[in-house]
Amino acid sequence: MRGLLIAGVLGLMSTIAAAAPLAKSGMPKSGPVLAPPGPPIVIAHRGASADRPEHTLASYALAIEQGTDFIEPDLVATKDGHLVARHENEISGTTDVASHPEFAARKRTQTIDGTAFTGWFTEDFTLAELQTLFARERLPQLRPANTAFDGQERIPTLDQIIALAKAATARTGRTIGIYPETKHPSHFRAIGLPLEPPLLAALKQAGWTTAAAPVFIQSFEVQNLKDLHGQTGVRLIQLIDAGVSGDGIAYDALVTPTGLAGVATYAAGIGPARDRIIPRTAAGVLGTATTLVADAHAAGLQVHPWTFRPENYFLAVPYRRGTNPQDRGDAEAEIRLYLETGIDGVFSDLPAAAVAAMAPAR
């Protein structure tokens, strides 16, 4: 999923402290909805990233222990064409690369999807070089406890993540799937490191090539999903944010009935920002649900909104507990409210909360 700009965290402390607790409203109306295809699924967003540094094998393993159905790696490419899991290809915020003098000269600035970034980029490192780095917590201001795990985990490869999911399936008797995101596919294609061929090769090696496989491939871009539709039978998910995709498609156009019908020609579902389902008001409370879930179901699409997080900083006001943005509120109750709209799954940084919220349906 797209990154959170954390600069405003400290400033929000006073905002949360000043906000008066509000009574939880009744269930917003969203019109008639079709029954989801089976129980809603839990997607561990970057693993159990509320409890461990994201995109590490430890984070994915903990998510499995918490009961997730899918683990979600964001995939980026190395200089030698391997796929690894990082939130972004710029890795200064999620690794200790800045402390490695041997890599100091590789710091640079480049423009990705119209935005300039300065730092160290996975495409400038071989896999062997990347695996000399250690992962660290991306949001230490909000998740200081996770910094205790800094320096313990290496950057995992897609192959390692698939092996983890398969081993967990054999051990637990539950099917544990993967839900990879292709990050900045246009950028990687432009520099000669397309993400799709190694991803499809890894899935083929795993025996995952059909819609029955425990796999969803997601992307914020449109064209690479259309291309993938002709190359694999696994399920595809069109991610939807605000604004325009990296390949120039307006997301607002995708969520109209006509746009959703178009998405259904190449994807099995949509992954919208959660506010597109139940918008948050200026007062920080959840408003009236939109018709997006019903409209998507009418087009034959599943709906997996992102991202549900346990900290007060991310929760709507009625679900916060206390005034410290770092403290955890009632994420389970907030997820339950969204489930009543008929969604088919959720991305969560705390899979345990999502599992608990879904307990009556599972």
Give 262-283 pLDDT, tens digit per residue. Answer: 999 999 999 999 999 999 999 9
- Ranges 33-37, 92-96, 148-152, 207-211: which has the least confidence: 33-37
In a domain, 14, yes or no: no
Q: Please report whether residue 19 resides in a domain.
A: no
For 182-199, the pLDDT digits (tens) are: 999 999 999 999 999 999
Q: Is residue 18 part of a domain?
A: no
Q: Which residue has the higher pLDDT, 284 or 34?
A: 284
- Taking the model in full, what pTM does it have? 0.90
Shortest CA distance to 245 belongs to which of 219, 272, 227, 216? 219
Question: What is the residue-wise DSSP string for 11-72?
Answer: HHHHHHHHSPP-PPP-PPP----PPPSSSPEEEEETTTTTTS-SSSHHHHHHHHHTT-SEEE
Do the domain assignments include residue 307?
yes
Of 82, 87, 184, 187, the active-site residue reads 87
Q: Which 3 state secondary structure label does DSSP give 244?
A: strand
In 3-state terms the chain splits into helix, strand, coil percentages (rounded to 5) of 35, 20, 45
Assess if residue 208 is contained within a domain: yes
CATH classification of the domain holding 40 = 3.20.20.190
What total number of domains does the chain contain? Answer: 1
Q: Which of 268, 253, 158 is nearest to 219 (CA)?
A: 268
Find the domain containing 154 and state its range: 24-361
Position 310 in a domain: yes
Residue 3 lies in a domain: no
Least confident of 4-8, 37-41, 105-109, 125-129: 4-8
| CA–CA distances in Å: residue 7 to residues 12, 140, 360 | 10, 12, 38
Among candidate residues 173, 9, 166, 193, the one with its CA nearest the CA of residue 84: 193
Q: Is 45 a catalytic residue?
A: yes
